[in-house]
Structure 1
């Protein structure tokens, strides 16, 4: 029956899984211009991160200006002793300007830095999007060309939906997402995190290290979250793929199903597949909620620690720490830690692109035993239409244990 055939094809497909894709092999169809655009996009994405420490420095000067305005309004003597005998100060302020004038002079730089960052990210995103579209188009041409070269036995071992909707649509879309703008976005995000942490350590390494001492716990919980998402996303995808295969199988043979009264049986099979997907989704949501709870505990614990230790350093080491320094270190560390979670969708996209690329490239590299484009061998000059069959038997690769006993 068709159900047995479909299950046999599915089992053979699972057993013959493609090899793992080596790093950067997914860019095998990139030509010289694609490589140039990818390099330019990477450089632009990295360059955009340079403006974040500059923005943070402006933010620090504005905080110090607000502190100076409050001191002037309350009549606080800035040269007096503070806390444990330290002299507090404000950093990065022009002594010739009032605090209000310092704020107004710093505001214009936000627009300048924002415009430069926008231009660089526009270049980075466009370069990677154009390069990805060019590569996927070449992959699509090579894929359909090699599919048409395969013999009938190769098609008998595969479902038509795996080729039309799987390879030519879903897998190519995954490759496009994995080698497109997300590479530039992930690179810019990583560069921003590194730049912010570097600026934070340069500004006040003691307070930064105190905050980062809790970061391994946050990163571990993020890794657990990523592992849970990866595992149960695969389980959900497998269950939905099985359910879609059942629907495709039933609708393509609806006359046979109706003739034998198999509607109830097929409905039960489809409901069971959806039940598996639902159970995987419930487990995924529960474990994600637990892992996110641990992330919040570690994150807010780090925030409490920095607001306890920061004011202490502002009293004891006021020549290195003031209100602006404490707030900047808190902002940069919190930004860097929170943005670690943003890497998870990018990693998932890259993993899906690698898996899809391995399947697509395995089909592209598949050598056919009967290749109509191969001009090697004997080719008769004249072909006559008289065909004689001698000792011809049928062979179905997808049903090796049930071969027909017909012989011509």
Structure 2
């Protein structure tokens, strides 16, 4: 008969023997990841306990995308390209807008030319009126030479040549098509940008959840003794959601806003580098104001939500145990506790409103100051350099650089979401890569085809990973059972003794009565 026995030697190694051959297996040491211990705290200690410091370790930028396959990489590359085109759409719209302004200004010049005393008098001599020429500018073309000779060359049709050939409506029709094309392109690009990024993020998050859960399930039982299952569940839910946000459309939005900034600067430097440099000098304040407003608003909103969540948890706790609360008369105490936490939420809400108001005021001030500086210097350039800076070109450069600078501040929430995702991915990926001490999926080792016999345990002891100083073995278990049995016998004897004596006292009392 084959016999198998286990025992501990002097080095605390478990030695087992099968048919006379022995082998050694080291006692598994408890892992140290997520070691939370087994500490018992009450509600007051929980409320007074300081919050845990957030994890400052992050994974690399490309490591964040380690679960992306070829299709995901292709989708993300398409998303980057589409986001850059989407961001460049608004500066392109401003470019068309600047040329449109110049055409409208030339129309005003044409009307002013016709209403001058000399030209209006000349129109009367050739049986024309200002209104008729404005409706049909080409009718003046045949009289231009006569007008120039009559005024000794002081008034010519050179400045109004586009209007005389009816180019105004043709050019505006062309620009109208440009506007329609840009609008349709933005619809398609925006749809593709969100779709490809969200599709890629969903696919990667799905793989991360599967790998995380699969690796947690193959950990040895000692790992669960030293790690809080609630924290593992939080990793599975909250942290992977943060990774999903960092992999999703927020990256595309950041690329879009950065592309808008670069495209705006390119348009500005091509059409007017002097005005572009002046606007860029104040752009750091625009970026700071926009990013500060987004950061403070998000921070105060999170604090407000946490305060409301804390008050809500108290209400849920009380309502779920309402019978116990009423039995001990704790209604007033619980109401005061709920009011205190609700007051914190009110305080954060007021602070958020004040912060948003101050940030909005500061941002509006910077915007108005930018308008003031840009239009003053732009007007100066149109006077000093009329050949290089027209009114339409000045507006084009100003709005392209201004909107580009403002767009760069809007890119900060997406970059912040990516940073949060890298921080959350550090712990999640670390748990995914953790190799268990006892791997149930391992194919290595000796695997007997058949094994029959009796198993005998001798002097086997072990310790729980959460309590390494307390040894547990068969002897200790028997001692605990014996002590428990003695306690039970003692309690039963006490109860029997009280019953007998109480009965005797009752008989004595009854005989006296």
Question: TM-score normalized by structure 2?
Answer: 0.63
| Deviates further, 339-348 or 25-34 | 339-348
Whole-Å separation in 2 of the counterparts to 1:400 and 1:273 = 40
In structure 2, what is the equivalent of residue 56 of structure 1? 94
Q: How does 1:239-318 map to 2 (within 5 A)?
A: 279-280=347-348, 282-318=350-386
Q: Which is higher, the Rg of structure 1 or of structure 2?
A: 2
Corresponding position: 1:20 with 2:54: no
In structure 2, what is the equivalent of residue 81 of structure 1? none
Does structure 2 conserve the Cα–Cα contact (< 8 Å) formed by 1:18 and 1:358? no
The change in CA–CA distance for 1:65 and 1:148 in structure 2 (over 3 A counts) is same
The change in CA–CA distance for 1:154 and 1:260 in structure 2 (over 3 A counts) is farther
Structure 2 unaligned blocks of 5 or more: 1-37, 117-157, 478-513
Corresponding position: 1:4 with 2:72: no
In structure 1, what is the equivalent of residue 394 of structure 2? 326
Corresponding position: 1:183 with 2:251: yes
In structure 1, what is the equivalent of residue 167 of structure 2? 98
Query: Once the 2 structures are TM-superposed, how far is the Cα of residue 66 of structure 1 from its aligned partner?
Result: 1.4
Whole-Å separation in 2 of the counterparts to 1:369 and 1:383 = 27
1:135 to 192, 197, 204: 204
In structure 2, what is the equivalent of residue 67 of structure 1? 105
Whole-Å separation in 2 of the counterparts to 1:129 and 1:205 = 39
Query: Once the 2 structures are TM-superposed, how far is the Cα of residue 199 of structure 1 from its aligned partner?
Result: 0.2
Does structure 2 conserve the Cα–Cα contact (< 8 Å) formed by 1:203 and 1:325? yes
Query: Once the 2 structures are TM-superposed, how far is the Cα of residue 51 of structure 1 from its aligned partner?
Result: 4.2
Question: TM-score normalized by structure 1?
Answer: 0.77
Corresponding position: 1:36 with 2:64: no
| Deviates further, 320-329 or 121-130 | 121-130
Whole-Å separation in 1 of the counterparts to 2:103 and 2:395 = 13
Query: Once the 2 structures are TM-superposed, how far is the Cα of residue 74 of structure 1 from its aligned partner?
Result: 2.9
Does structure 2 conserve the Cα–Cα contact (< 8 Å) formed by 1:230 and 1:348? no
Query: Once the 2 structures are TM-superposed, how far is the Cα of residue 318 of structure 1 from its aligned partner?
Result: 0.7
The change in CA–CA distance for 1:374 and 1:173 in structure 2 (over 3 A counts) is same
Query: Once the 2 structures are TM-superposed, how far is the Cα of residue 389 of structure 1 from its aligned partner?
Result: 7.8
Whole-Å separation in 2 of the counterparts to 1:4 and 1:389 = 39
The change in CA–CA distance for 1:402 and 1:394 in structure 2 (over 3 A counts) is closer
In structure 1, what is the equivalent of residue 151 of structure 2? none
In structure 1, what is the equivalent of residue 417 of structure 2? 349
Query: Once the 2 structures are TM-superposed, how far is the Cα of residue 108 of structure 1 from its aligned partner?
Result: 1.1
Does structure 2 conserve the Cα–Cα contact (< 8 Å) formed by 1:391 and 1:407? no
Query: Once the 2 structures are TM-superposed, how far is the Cα of residue 135 of structure 1 from its aligned partner?
Result: 1.0
CA offsets 1:9-36 (integer angstroms, 9 cap, x no match): xx99948958322222110111222212
The change in CA–CA distance for 1:13 and 1:382 in structure 2 (over 3 A counts) is farther
Whole-Å separation in 1 of the counterparts to 2:471 and 2:329 = 25
CA offsets 1:239-290 (integer angstroms, 9 cap, x no match): 6777788789x59x96998799697788777766666565555545544443
In structure 1, what is the equivalent of residue 11 of structure 2? none
Query: Once the 2 structures are TM-superposed, how far is the Cα of residue 186 of structure 1 from its aligned partner?
Result: 1.9
Whole-Å separation in 2 of the counterparts to 1:242 and 1:388 = 51
The change in CA–CA distance for 1:16 and 1:286 in structure 2 (over 3 A counts) is closer
Structure 1 unaligned blocks of 5 or more: 78-88
In structure 2, what is the equivalent of residue 112 of structure 1? 181
Whole-Å separation in 1 of the counterparts to 2:56 and 2:372 = 49
The change in CA–CA distance for 1:17 and 1:50 in structure 2 (over 3 A counts) is closer
| Deviates further, 283-292 or 329-338 | 283-292
